[in-house]
Amino acid sequence: MDCKRFLVLGCWLAQCFLAGSASSAQAFETVRVAGTGASLGLMRVLGQEFSRQRPDIQISVIGNLGSSGAISAVLENAIDLGVSSRSLRPAELKRGATVTEFASTPFVIAVHGEVKVPGLSLKQLAAAFRGDTAHWPDGVPLRLIRRPERDFDTGALRGMSAEMDQAVTEAQGRHGLNVAITDQDSADALERVPGSLGTSSLALIVTEQRKIRPLAIDGVTPSVEAMKAGAYPYEKFLTLVTGRSPSAATQAFVAFLRSPEVARLLPRYGALATSRSP
Amino acid sequence: MRERPREHRALIRAITAIAGVIALAVGLLLPVGYLVRAYYLERTGMAAEAELYALRVTELVNRNPTMWQFELERIADLVDRDLVTTDQDEVRSVYDRNGRLISASKGRLPPPALVEGHDFYDSGQMVGRVEVARSMLIAWQRAMAVAVFSFGLGFAVFIALRVLPLRALDRALESLASEKDRLRIVVDNAMDGIFSVDHRGAIESFNAAAEKMFGYSSSEVLRQPIAMLLPDVNLDDFEDPELEAGLLGEGEGIRRDGSRFPIEYAISRAEDAKGFRIIGIVRDITERRQAQDALSQLANYDSLTGLPNRNLFRDRLLRALARAKRNGQLVALIFLDLDRFKTINDTLGHAVGDELLQTVAKRIRYTLRETDSVGHLDDEKVAGSRGTSEVSRLGGDEFTIILENIGHPDNAAPVARRVLDAIASPLTLAGRSLYVSASAGISVYPSDDPDPENLLKNADAAMYRAKDLGRNNYQFFSEELNRQVHERLDMELRLRNALANSELSLDFQPQLDIHSYRSRAVEALLRWNNPDLGNVPPAKFIPVLEETGLIVEVGAWVLETACGWARGWQDAGLPPVRVGVNLSARQFRQGNLVAVVEGALQRAGLAPEWLELEITESLLMEHSEAVIETLNTLGMLGIRISVDDFGTGYSSLAYLKRFPIHALKIDLSFVRDVNTDPNDAAIAHAIIALGRSLGLSVVAEGVENPEQLAFLSSGGCDEIQGFLLSRPLSPGQLEHWYATWENLQLPALREVTGADAALKRVRGF
């Protein structure tokens, strides 16, 4: 797939070379995409899918700007499409940001691939966050990967239970914890650090093929199905954010993402199309 | 507590101001210093912190140069993370290149706040700035706490700096005031007068004793000059700042009624801001002085006669000798002893003897007073000096007389004579007529002996010689003096009879007019031929005539005789000759000189232009109104007046002009060496020049040789007189001299002077 992209790019460059400026009319249209870390892998695979259908439109996933950075970048016209895991603020809406429902993915507690524990109860999880549980049963130290206070994941953890809220507060005050700024940082840390425990999303693990393992919470293993059935209550919503006057290509890509075809594809990638507000 | 004086109030204000400033400085400096330090530390810390954050952001930018500003999560996490520990509230903000806020850390920022920033870069290009804003509220709160403490400290400092010195000042003032009170009590109750005077001499304070002493109230004398009370106090004596001990002395005070009284004073100088003041203590010593005087009277005076006793005599003799030594004067000491006093005492009793002594004392005193007042002790040669006499009783019948400044030893003789004569006049005591005489011995300081004791012994010895020589006479201790005095007395006696005995005569010396080579004037010269003494030189007998006053009578005779001769020659057919007559100062003092001159001219029938009166330079120097008037009158009569012996006195052009003088006669002492002594030549020249400038004739006396004549002639002298022309001649000789002038005198003169040219002008005589 990447080879083809390079081929296309090569052809475009050759065309530019041969035809000069007149060739711009036949060039690709690029839709620059950025957003919350959970969505990046998803956007790449869906972008490839879309480009297959619309070779004239290239989807460029820029990187992990986070929800706020993506919204800001859309409003600044630095990118064409943002993916946010949070709702928009009035000021952002006032500046012309438009929100479109897209998908949700299970919000997961994940561990290093070699951790043997299949799942934790909320109580155990709270103990781990408080620091009461310092080792896994096999003796490997339990290494907590913390997220910044203002990050969605921290709020999600707090929302899991009152005890968790308290435990997260304690964890935020603990010194010496590994802090991951972005979702990708968190996934990287979980992959890298033995005995680590942190947050992630199922869509990220699947689309980026991460070697980390989501834990069952209170015996429920996170999956699209469990989420859809309501058995697994922790989810992360992904919404599409566009500017005041999105390009046709952007609009086409948004339409594609909202299409039934994509809705069908999403469970395969650990996500579920949504039609309601997050 | 006493009220502080005005000058101290200024001091207090100054102390308060200084204490206030220091206290305020302490109160402000600590919190301000704390705040300044806190700001400095915060600012440097914040600058370092901003740099640290900027470095982090720069890393982030370098990782994602195009979209870094949208990596809000990372930037937020970055600014949320506390890289530096501080207890102040702090907000970190990240701005893009355009100053748009990208992210800011959470937190409040209560004012006041400090902001420090640092830029961050993308490959060296500035793309934004990190700002660290930190609240200084806590620093201010701490500064306030420090201020509370420091103001407390400042207050303590103020108390220490103001209250303590002022308390010390008050104590010092209190002590000073009480000291002043004590002093005032002492001053007010002192028996002595106490006053103070400022540096200009104005009285500042005056105590009760001084009020009583001088008769003024304090208010009357304040600010008045001290000299009105104490004329002897001289402020200049106190100008010297080194004067510490003050002045002690005695002087006079002046009471309100103008009466003077003796005082004793102690005056000290005290420095003050305006210069100095003097503080004096005066004591009225009238009573003490009276007691001293009484004691002194007892110790120094003879109670019988009231004359100074031996004790005081010694003292006065010492003083007289000291004065004489200092001034180069002569002192005569006369020692008197009554003749045969013991006999009187033994026969008539001590009471009569005492009375006799008292009478003798009175007579001596009276005689001396007369002598002093008529000026017998005058020394005419020493202008302005005057002799004084002092009589003492040594004891018994011995008296002494000190004669000061007698001028010449001889002058003691007439005093002794008069005193002896006074004693010798008859007196009546206890109903009996007594004839008492005394003998006197005279010694003269310093010739006889400079030592006072020896001087007294010498006078005593001379007195015994007088007794040996028959009593009622006086003897000098010096034989030479005895001889001179007796010779003079003898001469005086003979001179008194000289006129009557026709022993006096006149010679005439002709004068030559150098311009015409004619003689038209002669000078009359007095001659004395005594049968026993022969021809007596004028230098010997004329002073005696002067001293005895005989000069008046003799002078009149000279005038009369000279005028008579002059007229006689005219009658005899000789050409008229002007006759010059010397006048004595005594003749001027007589008061009738004009009448005497007029009388002489009238009796002789001589026209006044043929009389020339020659006066001395010293007479001119008296320049009394009477002399000027007499000379003017004589001048108006047409009589010619010349100044004799000119150059020996101290004449000045100024007063020469005031007198009606016709001629100056150069003293022969200058003419004598006029060709050998440049000084004399210069003086002669000067006199001639002076005479010419004043329009006076100049006559040179004592011209003896042709060289002198040549000099004087070339110098412009008008007339000459001297042996070159002729010696003084008797009237008969003079007639012959004139008669033979053409044939004898003129050729002779021509021969010695070789003055042919001059002779050509001569047209007979």
- pLDDT for res B361: 93
Rounded Cα gap, residues B190 and B210, in angstroms:
9
In a domain, A278, yes or no: no
Q: Which domain holds residue A193?
A: 105-229
- pLDDT for res B650: 62
Q: What is the CATH number of the domain that holds B122?
A: 3.30.450.20
B723 touches chain A (CB under 8 A): no
- Show the tokens assigned to B598: 């007029």
All residues at 6 or more sequence positions from B577 whose CB lies less than 8 Å from its CB, including other chains: B519, B520, B521, B522, B566, B569, B570, B610, B738
Q: Could B77 and A63 be called an inter-chain contact, meaning their C-beta atoms sit closer than 8 Å?
A: no
- pLDDT for res B744: 82
CB burial of A112-151 (b: ≥16 within 10 Å; e: otherwise) equals beebebebbebebbbbbbbeebeebeeebebbbbbbbbbb
In a domain, B489, yes or no: no
Rounded Cα gap, residues A38 and A33, in angstroms:
13
Instruction: Count the Cβ atoms, other than its own, within 10 Å of residue B221.
Output: 22
**Residues B270 and B319 placed together within one structural domain of the fold:** no
| Unique residue bearing structure tokens 């006197």 | B440
In a domain, A159, yes or no: yes
B233 to A243, B240, B264: CA distances (angstroms): 118, 15, 12
Q: Which residues pair with B616 in a beta bridge?
A: B644
Q: What is the CATH number of the domain that holds B715?
A: 3.20.20.450
**Residues B319 and B426 placed together within one structural domain of the fold:** yes
Query: What number of helices (H) and strands (E) belong to chain B?
Result: 26, 25
Q: Could B70 and A151 be called an inter-chain contact, meaning their C-beta atoms sit closer than 8 Å?
A: no
**Residues A220 and A242 placed together within one structural domain of the fold:** no
All residues at 6 or more sequence positions from B19 whose CB lies less than 8 Å from its CB, including other chains: B157, B158, B161, B162
- Show the tokens assigned to B466: 């007088």
- Show the tokens assigned to A211: 């070697």
**Residues B268 and B226 placed together within one structural domain of the fold:** yes
All residues at 6 or more sequence positions from B285 whose CB lies less than 8 Å from its CB, including other chains: B250, B262, B263, B264
Chain A residues with CB under 8 Å of B80 CB are 148-150
Of B250, B271, B290, the last residue of a domain is B290
Long-range contact set of residues A43-51: C-beta below 8 Å, sequence gap at least 24: A43/A83, A44/A207, A45/A207, A45/A269, A46/A256, A46/A257, A46/A262, A46/A265, A46/A269, A47/A253, A48/A1, A49/A256, A49/A262, A49/A265, A50/A252, A50/A253, A50/A256, A50/A257
A273 to A86, A228, A239, B384: CA distances (angstroms): 16, 10, 10, 157
In order, the DSSP letters of A163-213 are HHHHHHHHHHH-TT-EE--SHHHHHHHHHHSTTEEEEEEHHHHHHTT-SEE
In a domain, B79, yes or no: yes
Chain B residues with CB under 8 Å of A182 CB are 73-74
- Residues composing chain B: 765
Rounded Cα gap, residues B646 and B498, in angstroms:
30
What is the ipTM for the molecules in this complex? 0.74
B64 touches chain A (CB under 8 A): yes
- Angle (nearest 5°) at CA B703 between B519 and B515: 40
Q: Which residues pair with B399 in a beta bridge?
A: B336, B393
Output the CA torsion A220→A224→A227→A229 (10° steps).
-100
For residue B318, give the amino acid letter. L
Per-residue model confidence as pLDDT tens digits over B547-599: 788 899 999 999 999 999 999 999 988 888 999 999 988 888 877 899 999 99
For chain A, give the mean pLDDT. 86
In a domain, A171, yes or no: yes
In order, the DSSP letters of B353-415 are HHHHHHHHHHHHHHHHHHHHHHTTT--TTSTT---EEEEEEEETTEEEEEEE--SSGGGHHHH
Chain B residues with CB under 8 Å of A149 CB are 80
Residue B137 C-alpha, separation from nearest chain A C-alpha, in angstroms: 25
**Residues B51 and B103 placed together within one structural domain of the fold:** yes
**Residues A146 and A206 placed together within one structural domain of the fold:** yes
A177 touches chain B (CB under 8 A): no
In a domain, A162, yes or no: yes
**Residues A119 and A202 placed together within one structural domain of the fold:** yes
In a domain, B185, yes or no: no
| Unique residue bearing structure tokens 């339409």 | A255
Chain B residues with CB under 8 Å of A148 CB are 73, 76-77, 80
Nearest to B521 by CA among B655, B631, B621, B614: B614
**Residues A179 and A241 placed together within one structural domain of the fold:** no
Domain count along chain B: 4
| Unique residue bearing structure tokens 């004839």 | B435
Within 13 Å of residue B151, how many CA atoms lie on the same side as its CB?
Answer: 5
**Residues B519 and B649 placed together within one structural domain of the fold:** yes
Q: Which residues pair with B538 in a beta bridge?
A: none
**Residues A190 and A143 placed together within one structural domain of the fold:** yes
**Residues A225 and A114 placed together within one structural domain of the fold:** yes
Pair type for strands A57-64 and A29-35:
parallel
In a domain, A32, yes or no: yes
- pLDDT for res B376: 42
**Residues B305 and B279 placed together within one structural domain of the fold:** no
**A222 pLDDT above the threshold of 90:** yes
Nearest to B436 by CA among B457, B448, B422: B422
| Unique residue bearing structure tokens 């001569």 | B762
**Residues A90 and A131 placed together within one structural domain of the fold:** no
Which candidate from A62, A148, A151 shows the least CB-CB separation from B67? Answer: A62
- pLDDT for res B623: 61
Nearest to B69 by CA among B52, B51, B57, B83: B57
B435 touches chain A (CB under 8 A): no
**Residues B518 and B459 placed together within one structural domain of the fold:** no
Nearest to B116 by CA among B104, B95, B130, B100: B130
Rounded Cα gap, residues B152 and B140, in angstroms:
18
Rounded Cα gap, residues A119 and A108, in angstroms:
11
Domain count along chain A: 2
Pair type for strands B275-284 and B247-254:
unpaired
**Residues B638 and B528 placed together within one structural domain of the fold:** yes
From B78, which residue of chain A is nearest by alpha-carbon distance? A181
Share of chain B above pLDDT 70, in %: 93
A211 touches chain B (CB under 8 A): no
In a domain, B88, yes or no: yes
Per-residue model confidence as pLDDT tens digits over B464-517: 888 888 888 898 888 777 787 788 888 888 988 888 899 999 999 999 998 888
In a domain, B751, yes or no: yes
**Residues A132 and A241 placed together within one structural domain of the fold:** no
Rounded Cα gap, residues A221 and B755, in angstroms:
182
Rounded Cα gap, residues B412 and B444, in angstroms:
9
Q: Could A181 and B77 be called an inter-chain contact, meaning their C-beta atoms sit closer than 8 Å?
A: yes
Best B63, B73, B78, B103 member to test A by mutation, with max A CBs in 10 Å, is: B73
Could you say which DSSP state residue B447 is in? T
The list of chain B residues with pLDDT below 70 reads 1-7, 241-245, 274, 371-387, 622-623, 649-655, 754-765
**Residues B469 and B551 placed together within one structural domain of the fold:** no
Q: Which domain holds residue B403?
A: 301-477
Quick check: helix, strand or coil at residue B45? Answer: helix
In a domain, B118, yes or no: yes
- pLDDT for res B372: 66
Instruction: Count the Cβ atoms, other than its own, within 10 Å of residue A27.
Output: 12
Q: What is the CATH number of the domain that holds B386?
A: 3.30.70.270
Instruction: Provide the chain A residues 14-33 that lie in CB contact (below 8 A) with chain B.
Output: none
Which candidate from A70, A148, A181 shows the least CB-CB separation from B70? Answer: A70
- pLDDT for res A202: 95
- pLDDT for res B100: 87
Backbone angles phi and psi of B339, in degrees to 5: -85, 135
**Residues B559 and B698 placed together within one structural domain of the fold:** yes
B105 touches chain A (CB under 8 A): no
**Residues B227 and B107 placed together within one structural domain of the fold:** no
In a domain, B160, yes or no: no
Rounded Cα gap, residues B344 and B359, in angstroms:
14
Pair type for strands A212-214 and B90-96:
unpaired
Q: What is the CATH number of the domain that holds A176?
A: 3.40.190.10
**Residues B278 and B311 placed together within one structural domain of the fold:** no
- pLDDT for res B745: 81
- pLDDT for res B377: 43
Termini Cα distance of chain A: 33
In a domain, B734, yes or no: yes
